[in-house]
Amino acid sequence: MVAGLSLPRIVRVGRGAVEELGDVVAGLGLSRPLLVTDAFLVGTGAAERVTATLVRAGLSPRLFSGTVPDPTTDSLTAGLEALHGHRADSVIGFGGGSPMDSAKALALLGVQGGRMRDYKAPRVNHGPALPVIAVPTTAGSGSEATQVTVITDSGTDEKMLCLGPAFQPVAAVVDADLTLSMPPRLTADTGVDALTHAVEAYVSRKANAFSDGLALTAIATIGRHLRRVYADGSDAAAREAMMLAATQAGMAFSNSSVALVHGMSRPIGAHFHVAHGLSNAMLFPAVTAFSVAAAPGRYADCARALGAASATDAEGAAAAKLVDALHELCHDLAVPTPRAHGIDPAAWARLTPLMAEQALGSGSPANNPVVPTAEQIQELYARIYA
């Protein structure tokens, strides 16, 4: 099998790397970036510090802070106005997955126009698009290293998966110092998101030797550090390890794929406004239990990398230990069920058929070791609710 690989051209990794952002942008021959971020990072002063870094490098940046969690097609409108008004030649996504995904969408729409729906999977988007430089502030989405963006259609509440090299950042600046202020809940949710990326990349039907190595390394790193950083957010070494693992997991799934967890997670986020990492965590143990029998060797490798099984465990036993370990991890990280999170049972039941349809429509479940039917997806939604 020939694997088509896509990676950022430039990656700067390490504490303090954000101070080199201006040099990275200037080195690409760019001068008028639109800095896409959110109100929170403006409020902390982080966006102002990044803007100053760009100005010191001789650039002419403009700040756009109107991104929203789980970006929507409506939320892109003001961003496009800012992009065109500034005559931007590049877009910097500064924040968690939402600002980075917004930046990717704006970079494409700013050149090609049209509606975001025109670009959703299964279409593969090759461009043209403005160059994107990604600067993550959470250790989870991996969007700084992926050719993927997710935008919710404001008219239908469908979380649209959009794919292709047009969304691949040309550069990523990965600085763990930007994550030191993350609260425990966000630390947990983004950490499980990264772990889901790595496991799904490894068990995916599109897995390859390149993505496999990155996925297993990320799983091992997250296994050693996620509980540690959840307990003590000031642990700089653990923060740095998680940041690198999230980027590696992003590279892994971008060059393989995600699978059923992500396919089912997106509709939960769209309809019930649950943070993406948290909806992944709600699903992860049950979906893994549903899938292990079809790829016990692959799941066993994940269990050993996570530290949940030993080299002497048989494949089936090791795979079962992975399911147990995920249940324990979600318990230790206080992951709620949908019911405990406050989602109305009647609304959950009413929307389950639509969520199953949207999950299948995203294409991600087709990469799962067990390709589910709509009925099986509905059963899994029912199983995790309680």
Q: Is 29 left (phi over 0), alpha (psi -120 to 50) or beta?
A: left
**pLDDT computed for residue 1 by the predictor:** 75
Who contacts 377 (Cβ-Cβ below 8 Å, separation ≥6)?
260, 264, 355, 356, 359, 360, 365
**pLDDT computed for residue 4 by the predictor:** 85
Who contacts 143 (Cβ-Cβ below 8 Å, separation ≥6)?
93, 97, 100, 101, 104, 134, 136, 149, 250
**pLDDT computed for residue 261 by the predictor:** 98
- Which of helix, strand or coil describes residue 57? coil
**pLDDT computed for residue 93 by the predictor:** 98
Rounded Cα gap, residues 330 and 323, in angstroms: 11
Rounded Cα gap, residues 386 and 384, in angstroms: 6
Residue 340: count other Cβ atoms within 10 Å of its Cβ.
Answer: 12
**pLDDT computed for residue 357 by the predictor:** 96
Who contacts 27 (Cβ-Cβ below 8 Å, separation ≥6)?
10
**pLDDT computed for residue 251 by the predictor:** 97
Task: Mark the ranges of the chain whose per-residue pLDDT is less than 70.
Answer: none
Rounded Cα gap, residues 254 and 211, in angstroms: 8
- As a whole number of Å, the end-to-end CA separation of the chain is 42
Rounded Cα gap, residues 9 and 133, in angstroms: 10
> Angle at Cα 125 formed by Cα 119 and Cα 131, nearest 5°?
105
Q: For the stretch 97-133, what's the b/e string if a residue is b when 16 or more beta carbons lie within 10 angstroms of its beta carbon?
A: bbbbbbbbbbbbbbeeeeebeebbbeeebeeebbbbb
**pLDDT computed for residue 386 by the predictor:** 84
108 close to 166: Cβ distance less than 8 angstroms:
yes
Joined together, the tokens standing for residue 162 give 């959009």
Residues facing residue 149 across a β-bridge: 162
